[in-house]
Amino acid sequence: MKCPNCSINLEVSDFKGMELNKCPKCGGDWFDFKELDQLEDLVLSDDEMKGTLVWDKKPSKKKCPKCNKQMVGFNYRLNDVYLEYCENMHGYWLDSGEKERVIEEMKESVNKLDKKFDAEEKWANHMKQLQTSSFFSKLRNLLR
């Protein structure tokens, strides 16, 4: 396969147990279609919590290294990370540094989810305390 940026042969490389095709010149990575999910799973494996992957699609100037069809660019999960993918479901092209940005975005999403769940738990506990009979007894006594 040829790099969509440099048109040189991609080389097989290992990244955290995944076998990727990497450009030795520009540092970009080709992720087969399910490998992007594997990259995200390094941080968050619950797909329902990840949200929508593709936002704001636009034609890309890059071509798929497998079928040579023009790829589509998109904003990754409503973030400012711009990736490309093949509409024939061959995979995703991540320029140099983008796989690390995907991991960072997933870590930030996990952090936001943890804060959300913590706030919901605190609110639920607060509401339970308001519903106890001792609270209502105290309130009734204040109003007498």
Give 124-137 pLDDT, tens digit per residue: 666 676 666 666 67
Pairing of strands 29-32, 54-63: unpaired
pTM of this prediction exceeds 0.85: no
User: 2 with 8: CB under 8 angstroms?
Assistant: yes
Helical spans, DSSP H, in 9-132: 35-41, 47-50, 98-130
Q: Do the domain assignments include residue 40?
A: yes
Q: Do the domain assignments include residue 76?
A: yes
Examine the pLDDT at 83 and tell me if it is beyond 90.
yes
Q: Do the domain assignments include residue 3?
A: no
**Tally of domains in the chain:** 1
Q: Do the domain assignments include residue 36?
A: yes
Contacts of 15 (CB under 8 A, 6+ apart): 29, 39, 99
Contacts of 120 (CB under 8 A, 6+ apart): none
Give 31-43 pLDDT, tens digit per residue: 998 899 899 888 8
**Structural domain range at position 131:** 11-143
* Residue 54 in tokens: 């593709």
Q: Do the domain assignments include residue 117?
A: yes
Give dist(CA 108, CA 27) in Å, integer: 24
* Residue 65 in tokens: 């290294």
Examine the pLDDT at 138 and tell me if it is beyond 90.
no
CA angle (129, 134, 140) in 5-degree steps: 110
